[in-house]
């Protein structure tokens, strides 16, 4: 077992998983304190490193793409103090940190953990129910429904229809974006059949964020929802990154036999059931396959 204790937090590695506990120091971010302790399975890791400075250093975990719904939902836009996979290390503890890195790297090699993308979430995401208030509203999630409520700062055009309740099955995507410079951020939900290009200020399925202290907490709501949506890897099953689903049916020939086409129909049905394909995409894709039966 390897362990490092700092004011910023405590990291413990038992050979199978890392337990990351935020510190109680006043400089530990609100997001990390709210998120609480994380257990990261070894299989979710792509690497670990120690960056040494003159007075302090930083331990960093690099997770496999697609392993963590929090990183998926935030798209690498979390500020450094809010990143739960970083730990500030005092200079006199560099030796302990190096030992920690060696232990984790050795386990990754011994277990032959792949560094490539994960095909499913390996962390559960933030616990529910949870709620966060920031910007022009409050967002809550109980595992099945998102509840959006507005405050006195909300634009009349958005608040006129009152609070919003979004069923998880109707949500196709979630985006969290922090405020940057003069541009406000947002927590935005894409709802099936209600796509919009309206700015978050006017979008009834978005909370507008202005760059204040509690804004990052909205990332936890985004991550909890993201953890319950179809994994991004499912979206590329049977299609290329540039190619829509209905263009990926097998071409006529020796390979496009009856069994292969039936398997393809089952795959399309599963993608449609999971919400990856819209009704229109599923119908077009199915028709393309049936032409070859």
How many other C-beta atoms are found inside a 10 Å radius of the C-beta of residue 90?
A: 14
CA torsion 277-283-286-291 (nearest 10°) is -150
- Residue 29 — φ and ψ, nearest 5°? -65, 155
How many other C-beta atoms are found inside a 10 Å radius of the C-beta of residue 276?
A: 22
Output the six-digit token pair for 89: 């290390």
**pLDDT at position 248:** 43
**pLDDT at position 291:** 61
Question: Which pTM does this prediction carry?
Answer: 0.78
**pLDDT at position 255:** 43
- Buried b / exposed e over 21-51, threshold 16 CB at 10 Å, is ebbeeeebbebbeebeebebebebbbebebe
Chain position carrying tokens 């963590």: 68
Nearest CA among 277, 135, 131, 144 for reference residue 199? 135
Distances (CA, A) of 145 to 62, 166, 205, 228, 264: 31, 6, 13, 11, 32
Q: What is the strand order of the sheet 130-134 is part of?
A: 130-134, 137-141, 145-150, 164-167
**pLDDT at position 253:** 46
**pLDDT at position 195:** 79
Bridge partners of 2?
13
**pLDDT at position 93:** 95
Of the CA atoms within 13 Å of residue 101, those in its CB half-sphere come to 20
Q: What is the strand order of the sheet 17-22 is part of?
A: 2-6, 9-13, 17-22, 38-41
Please tell me the distance from the alpha carbon of residue 249 to that of residue 242, in angstroms, as a whole number.
15
Cβ proximity of 18 and 12 under 8 Å? yes
Please tell me the distance from the alpha carbon of residue 145 to that of residue 225, in angstroms, as a whole number.
9
Nearest CA among 42, 69, 44, 46 for reference residue 231? 69
How would you write the pLDDT of the chain (293 residues) with one tens digit per residue? 899 999 999 999 999 999 999 999 999 999 999 999 999 999 999 999 999 988 899 999 999 999 999 999 999 899 999 999 999 999 999 999 999 999 999 999 999 999 899 999 999 999 999 999 999 999 999 999 999 999 999 999 899 989 999 999 999 999 999 998 889 999 999 999 887 788 999 999 999 999 999 999 999 999 999 999 999 888 655 454 444 544 444 444 444 456 666 766 776 676 667 665 667 666 766 766 666 65
**pLDDT at position 124:** 95
Distances (CA, A) of 203 to 155, 194, 238: 10, 10, 33
Cβ proximity of 209 and 188 under 8 Å? no
Please tell me the distance from the alpha carbon of residue 122 to that of residue 111, in angstroms, as a whole number.
16
Bridge partners of 176?
187
């Amino acid at each position: 077992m390897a362990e490092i204790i700092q004011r910023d937090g405590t990291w413990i590695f038992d050979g199978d998983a890392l337990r990351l506990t935020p510190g109680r120091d006043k400089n530990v971010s609100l997001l990390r304190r709210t998120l609480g302790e994380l257990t990261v399975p070894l299989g979710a890791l792509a690497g670990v490193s120690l960056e040494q400075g003159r007075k302090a250093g930083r331990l960093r975990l690099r997770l496999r793409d697609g392993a963590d719904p929090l990183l998926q939902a935030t798209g690498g836009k979390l500020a450094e103090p809010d990143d739960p996979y970083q730990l500030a290390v005092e200079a006199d503890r560099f030796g302990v940190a190096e030992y920690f890195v060696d232990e984790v790297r050795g386990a990754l090699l011994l277990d032959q953990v792949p560094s490539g993308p994960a095909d499913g979430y390996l962390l559960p995401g933030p616990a529910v129910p949870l709620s966060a208030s920031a910007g022009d509203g409050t967002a809550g999630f109980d595992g099945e429904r998102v509840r959006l409520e507005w405050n006195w700062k909300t634009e009349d055009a958005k608040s006129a229809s009152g609070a919003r309740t979004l069923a998880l099955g109707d949500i196709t995507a979630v985006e969290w974006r922090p405020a940057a410079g003069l541009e406000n951020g947002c927590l935005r939900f894409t709802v099936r059949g209600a796509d919009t290009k309206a700015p978050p200020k006017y979008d009834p399925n978005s909370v507008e964020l202005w760059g204040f202290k509690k804004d990052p907490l909205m990332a936890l709501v985004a991550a909890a929802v993201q953890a319950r949506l179809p994994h991004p890897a499912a979206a590329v099953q049977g299609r290329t990154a540039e190619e829509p689903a209905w263009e990926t049916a097998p071409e006529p020939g020796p390979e496009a036999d009856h069994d292969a086409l039936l398997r393809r129909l089952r795959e399309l049905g599963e993608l449609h059931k999971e919400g990856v394909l819209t009704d229109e995409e599923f119908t077009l894709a199915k028709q393309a396959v049936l032409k070859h039966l």
